[in-house]
Structure 1
Amino acid sequence: MYVNDRSQSQPTGLRTEAGLVRGVLRRLHQDLVEGAFAFHPMPPLDENAYQWSRRLLPRRLRRWSRWAPHALVGSLAALIFLSGIGQSSFGFSMVGTLIGSVFSFACTLPIALTLFRPVGAFWLSLGVLGVAALLNPNSGYGGYWSGMASFTHIIVMTLVVLRTRPRLAVEVWLVTMVVITVVCTFRGNGSDLGPFTFFSAVILVSAAAVRAWREERQHVVETETVTAEERSRRTLLEERATIARELHDVVAHHMSVIAIQAEAAPYRVKETPPELATAFSTIRENAVAALTELRRILGVVRSEDPDAFADANPEAPQPTLASLDSLLASVRSAGLTVEAVITGSARPLPQGVELSAYRIVQEALSNTLRHAPGAEARVEISYVLGGLGLRIVNGAPSRLAKPSPGAGHGVLGMRERVQMLGGEMTTGPTEEGGFEVAAFIPVSVSGTGTGPATNASAGEAKS
C-alpha cells in the first residue's frame, strides 16, 4: 500500500512542476514575444507629475515640461552616439571609423526606440549585444564595441522596466544572461560575465522598485479620486434628502391651504350649484391625496436617517429670514463677531426661498466658526427687483483652526440649494485672507408672497 501511494505521488509532482514551467514560459511569451514590436508610445506627464515646472520654469516653457522624459531619453541616446563616433575616430582606421559609427548607431537606436516600442527595443539591443560578444575581445574593435553594447543594453533594460511592469526586470535579465552565457561559452571567454551580471541585477532591481512604487502611488491616487467622488456624490444625495425633508413642510402647507379653501368655498356662496360643489370636493380630495403621497415620500426620505429630527421639534415651522436675528445671536454667543446689513425693501418671499437663504447664511457662519476662529463676519442681504442677493464674508483667522470632524462639503450643500432655485453662487478666498460666499436667488414679481400659486412654490413642489 505504501509503494502504491509513493508511485502515485511522483507523477502528480511531475505534473505540478511541468505546469509551473509551462506557466512561466507562457508568461514569458506574453510579456516578451506577443506584440513585442507593437506601437506603444510613452505618454507625456500628467498635470500632477509636473507641478514643479510651475515654480521653476517660465510660463512659456511650462507646457513643454510634460515632454521632459522624452527629451531626456533622446538626449541620452544622442550623447552616447556622438561619444561612440568620437571614440571610434581616434584609434581606428577610416574603415573602422565607419563601422564604429554604424555600430554606435545600432547601440543607441534601441534607447530611442524605448519611447515607442519598449519590448522590441530590448530584443534589438540584445541582438546587438550578442553580436558584440562574438567579437574577439583582444582586438581593438571587439573590446570597445562589447563594452559599449553592454552599457547601452543595461540602459535599455532599465528603460523597458520603467515603462512596462516590475516583473519584466527578472524576465529581461534572465533572457539576457542566457544569451550572454551561451555566447561566452561558445567564444570560451567569460571574464566579464560576473561584473556585468552583478551590475545589471542591481540596476534592474532598483528600476523595478521605482516602477512598483510608481504603480502603487498611481493606484493610491486613483483610489483617493474615486473615494472623493463617491464621498461628494453621497454628500450631495444626503443634502438633497435634507432639502426634501425641509421643503416637505413648505409644500404641505400650501396643499393644506388648498384643501381648507376648497372645503370652505361652497359655504361662502348661497345656493351653490351642484357642479361647483362637486368641483370643490374634487379639489379637496386631490389635495388630501397629495398630502398623503407627500407623507409617504417623506417616510422614504427619512428611512435612511430616522433620527434626522431627533433633536428638533418636528412640529416647529421651518426657519425664514425673519429668524435671522436669533441665528446671529446664537453665533455671537459662540464667540463670532458678526454684522448684518439689509438693503432694499424687505418683502415676503416664497417659503422655499426664505428657507434656502436662511440655511445658506447658517452654513456660511458655521464654516466661519469652524475654519476661521477669531475672524469677524459680515452678512449682507439685498432685496432687489429680480430676487434676493446674499453675501457672507469673513476676515482672516486670528489663530489656527482645530481639525474639523465634518466632511467639508458645506459649500456643496449651499450650491445645491441655490441651483435648485435657479440661482447662481460663487465662493472663494478674499484678498485679506478670508472667505466669501455670494449667491443670487431669482424671484419673479408674481412669485413673491406666501400664496400657494406662486411660481417658486410650483418649482419647489416639482423638485
Structure 2
Amino acid sequence: MNPRHWPRALFVSEQPAPVSAAASRHGRQPMLQYSAAAMLTALIGALGIRTMSHGYGVGVASAVVLAAVQSAPLLLAVTRPLQAWWIIMAADIASSAVLFHAPRLEGNSWPWPPAVILGQLVLLVAVARRERRPALVAVWVVLTASGLAIAAASPHNRDSSDVLLAVLGGGILLVGGVLRERHEALQRLGEQQLIAQSERARHTLLEERARIARELHDVVAHHMSVITVQADSAPYRIPGTPAAAQEEFAAIAVAARQSLAEMRMLLGVLRSEDSDDERRPQPGLDDVPHLVEAIARAGVPVNLVLDDGVEELRALIPPTVELSAYRIVQEALANVVRHAPGARTRVEVKLLPDRSSLTVLVANATPQQYSGALETSSTGHGLVGMRERVRLLGGALKTGPTLDGGFQVTARLPLPALPRKETPNT
C-alpha cells in the first residue's frame, strides 16, 4: 500500500452507507441498525463504567465520562464507521492515560481493558463492511502501533491485551474486507451479465428487423415495382387504350410509386437503428383529401367532412396525432375496398366541442351492387394496428357493424390543451 494514501484513508469514508432500496423505502434496516448500535453502546458503556470504577479504582465521575466517550460514537458507526473509529481510538488512548495513574492498575488488563477490546471489535466489523483495503490496512497499523506504544509505558503491567486486539482486529478486518470485495465483485459480475444480456437482446432485435426488411423488400417491394412498370407501360402495350383507362393506369402508377416510397422509408427504419428516415415528414391531415381522392378513383364513393376547427388549429395538433389519424383513415378505407367494394363511405375528422380530442370516423354502408369481397380472408392486423396507435396516444377506438349492414370505425385521439373557441356575446 502506498503510504501517501494513509491520511485520507484514516479520515474519509470512501463509500456510502449500504442500504438497499427496499430498506430505504420502508426505513426498517436503518431502524434495526440504530437499535443494535444503541444496545451495544449501553452494554459497552455499562461495562466500561463498572470496570474502571470497581476494577481500576477510577472515580465514578471520571469513569462515566470516559465510558460515554468510548461508547457513544458507536451510534455514528451506522453511517460513518471510519470517523467513529477515529473518535473512539482517540478516546481509548485518553482512557489509557487515566488508567496508567489508576490506584489498582496492577493485576488488571493493560493497555486495553475488556470494554475497550469489545468496543473496538464491534467497530472494526462496521469498518470492514464499508471501507476499502487501504483504509483497513491503515486502521490496523494505527491500532497495533498505539497498543504497542501504550504497553511500552508500563511493561511490567502488560498482559498482551494489545497483541490480542491486534490479532482479533486484524482477523476481522481481513475477513470483512475479503467478504466485501467478493460481494462487490459479484455485483459487478451481475451488472456485466445484465449488460451482456441487453446487448444480446439488442443484437437479436436488429437481426430480426433486418430479416423483416429483407422479406418486405423481396416480396412486397418487388410486386409493387412490377405493378408500377405494368401500369406505366399499359397504354403503350395495349393499342387503342381509351383516355379514361390511360388516366386510371396513371393513377395506379402514382399510387404504386407512393407505396414504394413509404416502403423504402420503412425498410430504412428497420435496417438502421439511427436512421434519418424516421425524421422525414410523415403523412398528416393535409394528405387525407388525397387519400380519399385515390380511393374514389378505385370505385368507392367517399364523402369527406373535415372540420373547420381542424384547419384553424392545425399548427397546434401534434404530428403523432396527425399521423395516427391519417393511418386510421387509410386502413379503414383499405378495408372498405377489400371487403365492401363500391359501398358509399363517409369520412369525418372533427374536433370535440371542448377541443380536448380529435375524432376520426369512417363508416360505410352496404354496397348497392355487391359482387363479393375482393379478399375473403382477413388477418385482423389492420384493426390491431389501429388499436395500438390509439392506445399509445391514450385514446379510444370503437369498431363494429352498423344497423344498415355496414361497418364503422370511430377513434378518439386526445389533444393537448387548445385555445377554446370564442363565442359571441348575445
> Which TM-score applies when normalising by structure 1?
0.48
SS of the residue corresponding to residue 114 of structure 1 reads helix
For the Cα contact (< 8 Å) 1:255–1:290, is it kept in 2?
Answer: no
> Hey, what's the Cα distance between the residues in 2 that align with 1:287 and 1:152?
81
User: For residues 267-324 of structure 1, what are the alpha-carbon distances to aligned partners after superposition, in whole Å with 9 as ceiling and x for unaligned?
Assistant: 67536899x79977994995798599689969978xxxxxxxxxxxxxxxxxxxxxxx
1:136 aligns with 2:100: yes
Following superposition, the deviation at residue 162 of structure 1 comes to: 0.9
1:222 to 169, 175, 191: 191
User: For residues 202-254 of structure 1, what are the alpha-carbon distances to aligned partners after superposition, in whole Å with 9 as ceiling and x for unaligned?
Assistant: 22222122212211121122112212222222222222222222333234433
For the Cα contact (< 8 Å) 2:206–2:271, is it kept in 1?
Answer: no
Which of 1 and 2 has greater Rg?
2
State the partner residue of 1:159.
126
Sort the Cα spacing of 1:226 and 1:74 in 2 relative to 1 into closer, same or farther, 3 A. same
State the partner residue of 1:44.
19
> Hey, what's the Cα distance between the residues in 1 that align with 2:222 and 2:32?
64
1:270 aligns with 2:242: yes
State the partner residue of 1:170.
137
Sort the Cα spacing of 1:419 and 1:153 in 2 relative to 1 into closer, same or farther, 3 A. farther
SS of the residue corresponding to residue 387 of structure 1 reads helix
Sort the Cα spacing of 1:75 and 1:235 in 2 relative to 1 into closer, same or farther, 3 A. farther
SS of the residue corresponding to residue 132 of structure 2 reads coil
For the Cα contact (< 8 Å) 2:227–2:253, is it kept in 1?
Answer: no
Q: Structure 2 matches for 1:63-462, cutoff 5 A? A: 63-67=26-30, 70-71=33-34, 73-81=36-44, 83-84=46-47, 87=50, 91=54, 96-134=59-97, 135-136=99-100, 139=103, 143=108, 146-188=113-155, 189-192=157-160, 193-248=162-217, 249-264=219-234, 269-270=241-242, 283=254, 387=383, 422=389
Sort the Cα spacing of 1:73 and 1:141 in 2 relative to 1 into closer, same or farther, 3 A. farther
For the Cα contact (< 8 Å) 2:48–2:116, is it kept in 1?
Answer: no
For the Cα contact (< 8 Å) 2:6–2:134, is it kept in 1?
Answer: no
State the partner residue of 1:332.
none
Count of residue pairs the alignment pairs up: 286
The one-letter code matched in structure 2 to 1:238 is E
State the partner residue of 1:307.
none
User: For residues 81-125 of structure 1, what are the alpha-carbon distances to aligned partners after superposition, in whole Å with 9 as ceiling and x for unaligned?
Assistant: 453377369838998333333222212233221223232222112
For the Cα contact (< 8 Å) 1:114–1:159, is it kept in 2?
Answer: yes
> Hey, what's the Cα distance between the residues in 2 that align with 1:384 and 1:284?
23
1:28 aligns with 2:6: yes
Sort the Cα spacing of 1:232 and 1:27 in 2 relative to 1 into closer, same or farther, 3 A. same
> Hey, what's the Cα distance between the residues in 1 that align with 2:386 and 2:380?
19
> Hey, what's the Cα distance between the residues in 2 that align with 1:190 and 1:95?
19
State the partner residue of 1:374.
none
For the Cα contact (< 8 Å) 2:77–2:123, is it kept in 1?
Answer: yes
User: For residues 26-68 of structure 1, what are the alpha-carbon distances to aligned partners after superposition, in whole Å with 9 as ceiling and x for unaligned?
Assistant: 12133224x46x9x65142245xx8xxxxxxxxxx99344436
Sort the Cα spacing of 1:109 and 1:263 in 2 relative to 1 into closer, same or farther, 3 A. farther
Sort the Cα spacing of 1:105 and 1:277 in 2 relative to 1 into closer, same or farther, 3 A. same
User: For residues 145-177 of structure 1, what are the alpha-carbon distances to aligned partners after superposition, in whole Å with 9 as ceiling and x for unaligned?
Assistant: 732122212222221121122343322111111
State the partner residue of 2:296.
none
**What's the Cα RMSD here?**
5.0
For the Cα contact (< 8 Å) 1:133–1:180, is it kept in 2?
Answer: no
> Hey, what's the Cα distance between the residues in 2 that align with 1:138 and 1:89?
9
> Hey, what's the Cα distance between the residues in 2 that align with 1:289 and 1:171?
72
The one-letter code matched in structure 2 to 1:191 is D
Gaps of 5+ in 2: 273-333, 337-376, 401-426
For the Cα contact (< 8 Å) 2:227–2:256, is it kept in 1?
Answer: no
> Which TM-score applies when normalising by structure 2?
0.52
Following TM superposition, where does structure 1 have runs of at least 4 consecutive aligned residues deviating by more than 4 angstroms? 92-95, 137-145, 265-269, 271-274, 276-301, 381-386, 418-425, 442-445
> Hey, what's the Cα distance between the residues in 2 that align with 1:89 and 1:219?
48
Sort the Cα spacing of 1:76 and 1:255 in 2 relative to 1 into closer, same or farther, 3 A. farther
> Hey, what's the Cα distance between the residues in 1 that align with 2:166 and 2:81?
21
Sort the Cα spacing of 1:224 and 1:384 in 2 relative to 1 into closer, same or farther, 3 A. closer
The one-letter code matched in structure 2 to 1:136 is F
For the Cα contact (< 8 Å) 1:133–1:184, is it kept in 2?
Answer: no
Once the two structures are overlaid, the 10-residue window that deviates more, 240-249 or 91-100, is 91-100
For the Cα contact (< 8 Å) 1:252–1:294, is it kept in 2?
Answer: no
Following superposition, the deviation at residue 384 of structure 1 comes to: 7.1
Gaps of 5+ in 1: 1-22, 51-60, 302-347, 351-380, 389-417, 426-441, 446-463
Following superposition, the deviation at residue 262 of structure 1 comes to: 3.6
